[in-house]
């Protein structure tokens, strides 16, 4: 029924992961940084689901479920931090947040 | 199918690229939603409908709404990405990405993945015993496994399949009496590792085991289910058959009914007689020239065989008839519930010899194995195998919730500032007394004190 093998999904997940990594490196906006991290998590999830189908086991799906939960918690905390930083500094450009730089 | 994958993945990559390059953060977030939607579609194509729905609700719903809300709350749509100092990071990032892509793509391109593919680990197969020997109260059936033919210098190891407990693979000796299955007894499926088995089944009469009636080499594949059915053939000799059960989930809104005919001198048909109440025969009149209206569900099932059908949800009047249209047994108001898998073994009731035989359709239920990736399948693994991680993740979410509430207190920053100032004041006050001790003058009174405290307030600012 499903003639597409696992490899194309892995390649797609790879491409999406690298685009997310690129976003983390290139963008200076903290919110966009977060969105790039979400993109990376999502691509990892895609690989997990593809491998779950390859092996015919549901454990991969369960891990994706956990990743989603952790991502939700991470986004909530991260955005709260960003809001606080913006209140104090009036900016979310991560290059300007240098007070912890040695 | 392939073009669908290509289109969806192209849109996903395109949306990710647009997300990376947009200057307006709101546009970026909207493109990320498109990307998440594409990934949800790919989950559907990967037989993960439950995760696809979770992806839509959690990612494209909750998380992205949170992102958009924060972007608009802060008014941070126009991003300030113009710090020239870090421009080289972009080029470095692109270079690293391309190198990583080449490294990752190398095994795929050289077919490393496909060459070294291993078989998926074997999961569980299931086996059960159905004793349909009429009147066999004193008879019990045994079933054992002569070993999975692990040939080490010709030694065949053996293990007993059924020992009456749940740990079916105890190290019992091969000639142990394994389990007494009384009349009409069944037990839920015993879970065994998948693999090759030599199933041996026999009957025990008053403590003496007969020679094996069935020796069958069978491959129990993962997620399959088999039944060993004992029944009596027309000569009154116990016969046994191993049959595979279809335990996949029935179609939506239907139940699966499997009928096994254990009456050896009859070919049983199962019919749906609608509103007609039952009588001894299907014939409208004595000459049997016409039959009452009915719908044949199973036609002339020979003895020792089974067949299955799927029934729509609802109530039925079913009847078992033999090849002469005589009604052997009726099932009035038979309620078909969706999702149920039921096995009916059609047996002769033990009766007084010479009297009119009566028949019964004994019920044996099975549990459906949920389809791969369905909410049932994921839920079973999640709440049975992974209960502890689920609880830990729940704790994590609770901690995150509390953390967000603490972080989002409106006066959190102001309080921190006040605390900082208070700490400095406390440090400054002893200094005054130190000075007064060192100079010997009473600096804590009069104009001197006012000057000092004014001075200390000034010095607190640097």
DSSP string computed for B127-162:
EEEEEE-TT-SSEEEEEEE------BTTB---B-S-
What domain count does chain B have? 6
Query: What does the alpha-carbon distance between residue B28 and residue B130 come to, in Å, rounded to a whole number?
Result: 62
| Strand pairing class (B139-145; B195-205) | antiparallel
Within a domain: residue B192? yes
pLDDT at B37: 95
Asked whether residue A66 is assigned to any structural domain, the reply reads yes
In a domain, A23, yes or no: no
Percent of chain B, pLDDT > 70?
56
Question: Is A16 in Cβ contact with B35 (below 8 Å)?
Answer: yes
Distance CA B275, CA B285 (A): 18
Whether residue A39 and residue B400 make contact (CB cut-off 8 A), yes or no, is no
Residue A12, domain member (yes or no): no
Least confident span in A3-7, A40-44, B82-86, B434-438:
B82-86
Distance CA B358, CA B350 (A): 8
Query: Best residue in A6, A69, A86, A98 to probe B by mutation, most B CBs within 10 Å?
Result: A69
> What is the pLDDT at residue B177?
29
Alpha carbon distance B101, B95 (integer Å): 10
> Is A5 part of a structural domain of the chain?
no
Q: Given this model, what pLDDT does residue B336 score?
A: 80
B397:A36 CB<8 A: no
Q: Which residue has the higher pLDDT, B458 or B316?
A: B316
Q: Domain check: are B279 and B353 in the same one?
A: yes
**Contact residues for B208 (Cβ-Cβ < 8 A; gap 6+):** none
Per the structure, the count of domains in chain A is 1
* Residue B125 sits in the same domain as residue B241: yes
pLDDT value of position B156:
26
Q: Which residue of A has its CA nearest to B68?
A: A31
Residues B229 and B130 in one domain: yes
Residue A30 pLDDT level (bands cut at 50, 70, 90): confident
Q: Closest approach of chain A CAs to the CA of B127, in angstroms?
A: 21
DSSP per-residue string spanning B178-211: ---B-TT-B-PPEEEESEEEEEEEEEEETTEEPP
- Sign of CA pseudo-dihedral B272, B274, B278, B281: negative
Residues B106 and B137 in one domain: no
Assess whether B60 and B156 both reside in one domain.
no
* B99 contact A CB<8A: no
What is the distance between the alpha carbons of residues B400 and B352, in angstroms, rounded to a whole number? 73
Which residues of chain A are within 8 Å of residue B48 when distances are taken between CB atoms?
A: 49, 52-53, 61, 64
Q: Do B337 and B453 share a domain, yes or no?
A: no
Measured CA to CA, the distance from residue B437 to residue B430 in angstroms comes to: 11
Considering the domain architecture, whether residues B235 and B128 belong to the same structural domain is answered as: yes
- Give residues with Cβ within 8 angstroms of A34, minimum separation 6: A75, A78, A79, A82, B67
Q: Is residue B113 part of a domain?
A: yes
Chain A, nearest residue to B114 by Cα: A7
Contact A9 B32 (CB under 8 A): no
Report the chain A residue with the minimal C-alpha distance to residue B120. A55
In this structure, the answer to whether residues B292 and B239 fall within a common structural domain is: no
DSSP H helices, chain A, are 6-26, 30-55, 59-89
Q: Does B17 touch chain A (CB under 8 A)?
A: yes
Shortest CB distance from B54 goes to which of A7, A50, A68?
A68
Q: How confident is the model at residue B40 (pLDDT cuts 50, 70, 90)?
A: very high
A-chain residues near B51 (CB < 8 A): 45, 49, 61, 64-65
Tell me if ipTM is over 0.85. yes
Residue pair B19/A23 in contact (Cβ under 8 Å)? The answer is: yes
Is A62 in contact with B382 (Cβ distance < 8 A)? Answer: yes
DSSP 8-state secondary structure symbol assigned to residue A50? H
User: Which of these, B224, B166, B164, lies nearest to B197 by C-alpha position?
Assistant: B224
Nearest-neighbour CA in chain A from B56: distance (Å): 11
Domain that holds residue A69: 29-94
- Range of lowest pLDDT (A9-13, B174-178, B449-453): B174-178
Tell me, yes or no, whether A11 lies in a domain: no
Quote the domain boundaries for residue B432: 412-459
The DSSP call for residue B352 is -
pLDDT digits (tens, 9 = 90+) for B240-269: 777 887 777 777 778 888 888 877 777 888
| Residue A3 counted as domain residue | no
What does the pLDDT look like over B90-115, one tens digit per residue? 777 778 878 877 887 777 666 555 55
Tell me which of B133 and B406 has the higher pLDDT. Answer: B406
Question: Which one, of B173, B121, B181, B182, lies nearest residue B145 by Cα?
Answer: B173
Instruction: Give A-chain residues touching B45 at CB under 8 angstroms.
Output: 2, 4
With respect to residue A72, please indicate whether it lies within any of the assigned structural domains. Answer: yes
Q: Give the closest-approach CA distance of B189 to chain A in angstroms.
A: 21
Closest CA of chain B from A88, distance in Å? 8
Give pLDDT tens digits for B409-441: 766 667 777 777 776 655 555 666 666 777 776
State which of B80, B107, B138 marks the end of a domain.
Answer: B80
B363 pLDDT more than 60: yes
* Greatest mean pLDDT range, A37-51, B75-89, B197-211, B222-236: A37-51
Partners of residue B320 on adjacent β-strands: B270, B329
pLDDT band for position A66 (cuts 50, 70, 90): very high
* Position B250 in a domain: no
- β-strand partners of B242: B228
Residues B226 and B329 in one domain: no
In a domain, A60, yes or no: yes
3-state class (DSSP) for residue B462: coil
Residue B47 contacts A where some CB pair is shorter than 8 Å: yes
Measured distance CA(B263)–CA(B304) in Å, rounded: 8
Rounded-to-integer distance, Cα B323 and Cα B326, Å: 7
Residues contacting B236, CB < 8 A, separation 6+: none
Checking B166-172 for CB contacts under 8 A at 24+ apart, the result is: B166/B190, B168/B192
**pLDDT of A58:** 85
Least confident of B10-24, B186-200, B313-327, B330-344: B186-200
Tokens of B191: 């879970």
Predicted confidence (pLDDT) at residue B149 exceeds the cutoff of 60? no
* Cross-chain Cβ contact B120/A87 below 8 Å: no
Q: Are residues B52 and B93 in the same domain?
A: no
Sequence length of chain A is 102
Are B34 and B73 found together in one domain? yes
Question: Same domain, yes or no, for B323 and B277?
Answer: yes
Q: Among residues B217, B245, B273, which one ends one of the domains?
A: B245
What CATH number is attached to the domain comprising A43? 1.10.287.3510
Say how far apart CA A39 and CA B457 lie, in whole Å. 51
β-pairing verdict for B124-132 and B225-232: parallel
- Residue B251 inside a domain? The answer is no
Testing the interface with B: which of A34, A39, A41, A71 to mutate, by most B Cβ within 10 A? A39
Mean pLDDT, rounded, of chain B? 70
Joined tokens for residue B423 = 């700490």
Please provide residue B103's backbone torsions phi and psi, each rounded to the nearest 5 degrees.
-65, -45
Name the closest residue on chain B to residue A4, using Cα atoms. Answer: B2
């Amino acid at each position: 029924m499903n003639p597409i093998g696992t490899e194309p999904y892995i390649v797609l997940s790879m491409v999406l992961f690298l685009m997310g990594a690129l976003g983390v490196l290139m963008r200076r906006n903290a919110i966009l940084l977060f969105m790039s991290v979400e993109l990376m998590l999502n691509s990892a999830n895609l690989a997990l689901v593809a491998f779950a189908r390859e092996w015919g086991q549901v454990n991969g799906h369960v891990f994706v479920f956990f990743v989603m939960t952790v991502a939700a918690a991470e986004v909530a905390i991260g955005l709260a931090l960003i809001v606080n930083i913006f209140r104090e500094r009036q900016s979310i450009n991560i290059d300007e947040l240098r007070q912890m730089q040695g | 199918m392939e073009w669908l994958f290509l289109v969806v993945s192209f849109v996903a990559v395109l949306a990710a690229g647009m997300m990376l390059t947009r200057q307006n953060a709101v546009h970026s977030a909207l493109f990320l939603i498109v990307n998440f939607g594409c990934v949800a579609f790919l989950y559907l194509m990967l037989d993960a409908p439950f995760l696809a729905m979770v992806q839509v609700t959690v990612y494209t719903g909750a998380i992205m709404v949170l992102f958009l809300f924060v972007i608009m709350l802060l008014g941070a749509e126009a991003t300030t990405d113009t710090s020239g100092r870090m421009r080289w990071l972009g080029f470095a990032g692109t270079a690293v990405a391309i190198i990583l892509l080449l490294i990752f793509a190398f095994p795929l391109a050289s077919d490393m993945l496909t060459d070294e593919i291993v078989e998926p680990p074997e999961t569980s197969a299931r086996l059960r015993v159905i004793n349909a020997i009429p009147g066999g109260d004193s008879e019990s059936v045994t079933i054992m496994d002569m070993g999975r033919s692990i040939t080490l210098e010709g030694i065949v190891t053996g293990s007993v399949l059924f020992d009456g407990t749940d740990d079916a693979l105890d190290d019992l000796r091969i000639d142990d009496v394994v389990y007494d299955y009384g009349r009409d007894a069944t037990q839920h499926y015993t879970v065994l590792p998948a693999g090759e088995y030599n199933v041996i089944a026999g009957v025990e009469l008053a403590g003496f085991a007969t020679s094996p009636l069935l020796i069958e080499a069978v491959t129990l594949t993962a997620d399959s289910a088999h039944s060993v059915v004992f029944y009596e053939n027309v000569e009154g000799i116990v016969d046994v058959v191993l049959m595979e059960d279809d335990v996949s989930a029935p179609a939506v809104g239907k139940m699966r009914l499997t009928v096994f005919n254990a009456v050896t001198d009859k070919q049983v048909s199962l019919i749906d007689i609608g509103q007609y109440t039952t009588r001894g025969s299907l014939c409208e009149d004595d000459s049997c020239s016409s039959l009452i209206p009915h719908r044949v569900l199973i036609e002339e099932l020979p003895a020792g065989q089974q067949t299955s059908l799927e029934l729509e949800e609802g109530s039925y009047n079913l009847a078992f008839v033999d090849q002469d249209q005589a009604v052997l047994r009726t099932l009035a108001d038979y309620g078909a519930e969706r999702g149920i898998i039921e096995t009916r073994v059609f047996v002769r009731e033990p009766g007084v010899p010479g009297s009119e035989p009566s028949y019964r359709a004994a019920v044996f239920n099975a549990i459906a194995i949920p389809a791969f990736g369905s909410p049932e399948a994921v839920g079973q693994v999640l709440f049975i195998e992974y209960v502890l991680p689920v609880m830990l993740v729940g704790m994590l979410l609770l901690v995150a919730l509390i953390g967000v509430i603490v972080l989002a207190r409106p006066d959190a920053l102001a309080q921190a500032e006040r605390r900082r100032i208070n700490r400095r004041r406390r440090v400054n006050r002893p200094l005054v007394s130190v000075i007064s001790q060192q100079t010997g003058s009473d600096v804590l009174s009069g104009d001197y004190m006012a000057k000092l405290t004014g001075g200390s307030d000034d010095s607190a600012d640097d």
